[in-house]
Chain A
Amino acid sequence: MSQYLDFEKPIAELHNKISELREYSTDNVDFTSEIQKFEKKAERLKKEIYSNLTRWQRTQLARHAERPYTLDYIERIFTDWFEIHGDRNYRDDPALVCGFARIDGQPCCVIGHQKGRNTKEKVHRNFGMPNPEGYRKALRVMQLAEQFRLPIFTFVDTPGAFPGIGAEERGQAEAIARNLREMATLTVPVIVTVTGEGGSGGALAIAVGNRVLMMQYSVYAVISPEGCAAILWNDGSKGPQAAEALKLTAQDVDSLKTVIDDIVPEPSGGAHQNPIEAAATLKQYLLKHLNELLEYSPEGLVEQRYQRFRAMTEIEED
């Protein structure tokens, strides 16, 4: 059963018609040509709708309930995956998964935010919002990767770091800040992909990479549109306006100072329409960037990453 967003409804209607026709088809009644006609129409409609999405609609697509999550990509891109747990201080954080695997035979480290599909899973994963122990686990695992000279792939998909009492008491800000500083010093390649929602510091805490990619329908911003609307418009329901103002789509971000290196194209209608194809495309991009980065010396990687972020400045002087 598929879930459709409001702007996908016309496509959904066509799909329903097509499946009805298929159902009514018998040996005597042949709807093949009608079905083909509707399929063509659906394809056309899809192209039209998806090439004219507003920023708010793209935000909804980035949060789509059926969008592939980190573990879905891991399953389709990597082999030999094993997850490891815990920050060695407080607990394991299921909102951030960490482990090791191989990509095309090459041993590597994989880290990513993880959301849940059903209510129970969503609660277990805390809607993809890590606590400080999640970030501390990620740092521990990244430093392990460095110890064993393994490249690191991170997958970003979070509304943000969790705003809770415990999170504050255990130093959410300190955990994020430390990751930013320590990721800057890693002597192995770090390749970041924003797969869904790139929400603020909670996203950036695993996104200080030599390369940063964004999936075509992902978003990346300093604050969620709703949060921004609540502060600047004094009205959390003004998310659509805030999304426009924040310029948060992959195309928007790409037009700014080298914040990202590539936009990874998604299957027509978004990654959830064809997760296998989405993962296969992403894998090609990851390998391309990995191969480029394997040419760097350890010091070269630190320097390249530093200069990448050092250049992110838009100011006027004199």
Chain B
Amino acid sequence: MVWFRKKKSLTASVEKKNVQVPEGVWTKCKNCQEIIYCKEIERNFNVCPKCDYHFRIGARERIDLIIDAGTFVEMDAKMRSVDFLDFKDSKKYKERIKAAVKKAGDGDAVICGEGQLDGLPVVVAVFDFSFMGGSMGSVVGEKITRAIEKGLETQAPVLIFSSSGGARMQESILSLMQMAKTSAALARLKAAGIPFISVLTDPTTGGVTASFAMLGDLNIAEPRALIGFAGPRVIEQTIRQTLPEGFQRSEYLLEHGMVDMIVKRQEMKKSLSQILRIFTRS
């Protein structure tokens, strides 16, 4: 499966070495610039084997890494976004949705369902950043809320893997309201004593961070993920200063007390299993 394509710069460097490589077999790590065999990255949970850089991955890949094989039952797969404001910038929202669905093969920016994690029943919601920047409109807000309600109904812990630029501008005020809706649902989950683990992956910003993603009983981040309220560009323009080294990265948030721990992707399932077993006393 060629889901990761080589960059132009790679072609150039490869040609210099005069090595013939078929498309998508080798790639260059964005972080350490090493040329690496794609299969090797894939085998390593899409983490660079040389420098530990965590490549962004799709929602389906993430579910495969976390949920026991054959146990995932998707919820609300047929839910679709509606262009109720007739929103148009350079392109109509209606067309953006259509194009995104076609490209992703999924209905929107989050996939939710029930499944098992090391045999423990969980409800899981996973963002796909490639679907309109993982943005949250009505569909994402509704799917997340129903996932939380499913946790309430079945008493299963809820896991949300976020990767999102924030609220979806094309649904204006109603996407803002998804922040209140999802957070209110979490209040009920908390009152019922059911664990909610928020996993923040690269990047998680805006209205998603400022709602459910920061409300985990535990907030767990993948290494070096960009996590924040405002985007770094907006901050730089507002305060007209260059930002400190590592600003808004997982390690920085850990230092400032905003996340509980940083867990490598290779260790994520094991850590979640250990945590959930303690929280559910099982």
Contact = CB atoms under 8 A, between A and B. Distances in A.
A168 B228 CA distance: 7
Contacts of B243: 165
Q: How large is the interface on B (under 10, 10 to 19, 20 to 34, 35 or more residues)?
A: 35 or more
Contact of A171 (B180, B186, B214, B244): B214
A200 interface: yes
Interface in B170-215: 171-181, 183-188, 190-191, 206-207, 209-215
B235 A315 contact: no
A246 B244 CA distance: 34
Given A184-B187, A309-B180, A164 B90 contact: no
A227 interface: yes
Interface stretch (A40-48, A147-155, A228-236, A272-280): A228-236
A316 interface: yes
Interface stretch (A9-17, A18-26, A79-87, A251-259): A251-259
A161 B173 contact: no
Interface stretch (B58-66, B138-146, B264-272): B138-146
A313 B142 contact: yes
B85 A222 contact: no
B1 interface: no
B98 interface: no
B182 to A, nearest CB: 8
A53 interface: no
Given A172-B210, A232-B169, A259-B177, A163 B78 contact: no
Contacts of A163: 229-230, 234-235, 238-239
Contacts of A316: 79-82
A315 B138 contact: yes
Contact of A176 (B81, B82, B210): B210
Interface in B212-241: 212-215, 228-230, 234-235, 238-239, 241
B181 A309 contact: yes
A200 B241 CA distance: 24
A164 B238 contact: yes
A182 B173 contact: no
B248 A168 contact: yes
Interface residues of A, number: 58
A167 interface: yes
Contacts of A184: 180, 183-184, 187
A182 B187 CA distance: 7
A171 B258 contact: yes
A248 B169 CA distance: 11
Contacts of A220: 173
Nearest to A318: B78
A200 B84 CA distance: 19
Contacts of B244: 165
A177 B230 contact: no
Contact of A223 (B80, B167, B215): B167
A314 B174 contact: yes
A223 B167 CA distance: 9
Nearest to A207: B180
**Among the interface residues B171, B184, B186, which one has the most CB atoms of the partner chain A within 10 A?**
B184
A317 interface: yes
Contact of B215 (A162, A181, A305): A181
B256 interface: yes
A245 B187 CA distance: 33
B87 interface: yes
B258 A245 contact: no
B37 interface: no
Contacts of A176: 210-211, 229
B210 A181 contact: no
B247 interface: yes
Given A168-B228, A168-B229, A222 B173 contact: yes
Given A173-B229, A181-B187, A314-B138, A232 B90 contact: yes
Contacts of A208: 180, 184
B97 to A, nearest CB: 10
B184 A309 contact: yes
A315 B214 contact: no
**Among the interface residues B82, B142, B207, B230, which one has the most CB atoms of the partner chain A within 10 A?**
B230
30 contacts: A161-B230, A163-B230, A163-B239, A164-B235, A169-B256, A173-B214, A176-B210, A177-B210, A180-B180, A181-B184, A184-B184, A201-B207, A204-B177, A204-B179, A205-B210, A208-B184, A222-B171, A245-B87, A245-B89, A312-B177, A312-B180, A313-B138, A313-B141, A313-B181, A314-B84, A314-B171, A316-B81, A317-B76, A317-B80, A318-B78
Given A171-B214, A312-B138, 8 more contacts: A170-B256, A178-B215, A201-B167, A232-B89, A253-B173, A309-B181, A315-B81, A316-B81
Pick the 7 closest A-B CB pairs, nearest first: A163-B230, A184-B184, A180-B183, A173-B209, A173-B229, A232-B89, A172-B229
Interface of A: 161-165, 167-174, 176-178, 180-182, 184-185, 200-201, 204-205, 207-208, 220-223, 227-228, 231-233, 241-242, 245-248, 252-253, 256-257, 259, 305-306, 309-310, 312-318
